[in-house]
Copies of this chain bind each other. A is one copy, B any other.
Amino acid sequence: MVHKMRAVRKLGPGPGAQLIEVEVPGVGPHDILVQVTATSICGTDYHIFRWDPWSEGRVKPPLTLGHEFSGRVVEMGPEVHHLRTGDHVSAETHVTCGRCLACLTGQAHVCQETRILGVDRDGAFAEFVAIPAANAWVNDPDLAPELASIQEPLGNAVHTALAQPLVARSVLIMGCGPIGLMAVAVARQAGAQVVIAVDISAYRLRLARELGASEAIDATKGDPVARVRELTRGSGVDVLLEMSGHPTGISQGLRALRPGGEASLLGLPSAPFRVDWGNEIVLKGLTLRGITGRRIFETWHQVRALLRAGLELSPLITHRLPLERFAEGMNLIASGRCGKVILYP
């Protein structure tokens, strides 16, 4: 058994992180140790890397970054009975309390005691990661490690997209970051009549088209609300998947919805902003659903089923780097000229 490993650690408050050698994490009675095969960079990892105000308020270094990954089980605590050494696993990255009202009534994704891998406890930008066995998700043996790694954000996309029926409906996806792009592919597979994607990056809009968008609107060139109305014969879309987290995008999304429409909201604005609550929400009779995390494990089963049915995400994986080039990966995220960036330990 090895005792040392390489890990991308933030060693103290402030920007940056370092690849250093540390102890392989120990394994508690209900935990497993996973040898990481592939890990992918999330926007949150970048926020912590550059040490934004949210990170400053939440993260307590030293900390190993990263939470999206896949790997092999190499060690199990004595109370773990449903897994086997060698299992190909990924992880639900939200470690919930298991005892609160939310956890006991099928809403663990809103547990207020949630601790997140790579945010509140050591994460997966490393050769090994220790997780509670209850958080492990056993992958199909033949699932590619890169796809297995991005199941976690794909779960966000699936949770958002499938929070309402999409079949035979017009769907607007506002914001084409990686999760928005995944939502494009999911909405297409879910039988949406049309999938309209909006962003301000030509790079991302090209990816949206490759992933199945019927129409990709550049919001810097004309009013996307007017264009959505044209595309829906004047009525507006049935469903909005709000992935931008930007006040302008949110407002445009609400205005582009038809009366009686439904919206799932995943994007997080950085601050409060003005909303035309009466005209855009109440009088239109909209239904809005705030989305966070993944339903545990309903969403994971849906993710597995979509992948088994052939969900095509390969255009989304744009960069593959060895772990030591993590900083290059962070720069790619900062540039916006990427889909998912995979790191190999």
Contacts and interface: CB of A to CB of B under 8 A. Distances in A.
A73 B345 CA distance: 49
A139 interface: no
Among A101, A102, A110, which residue has the most Cβ atoms of chain B within 10 A? A101
Interface string A159-170: 000100111111
Contact of A258 (B101, B158, B292): B101
A79 B79 contact: yes
A140 B256 CA distance: 23
A235 B103 CA distance: 13
A265 interface: yes
A16 to B, nearest CB: 26
A190 B190 contact: yes
A268 B291 contact: no
A172 interface: no
A167 B166 contact: yes
A194 B310 CA distance: 11
Contacts of A189: 167, 191
Contact of A288 (B167, B266, B281): B281
Contacts of A276: 272
Interface in A23-81: 29, 79
Given A104-B297, A286-B288, 9 more contacts: A101-B235, A102-B259, A105-B298, A106-B106, A191-B191, A265-B281, A282-B290, A283-B292, A284-B292
30 contacts: A29-B79, A82-B99, A102-B258, A102-B260, A104-B297, A105-B301, A107-B285, A110-B260, A167-B189, A167-B190, A167-B306, A168-B302, A190-B190, A190-B191, A191-B191, A192-B309, A193-B306, A194-B309, A250-B277, A265-B281, A266-B282, A267-B282, A268-B278, A269-B277, A269-B278, A273-B275, A283-B290, A283-B292, A285-B290, A286-B290
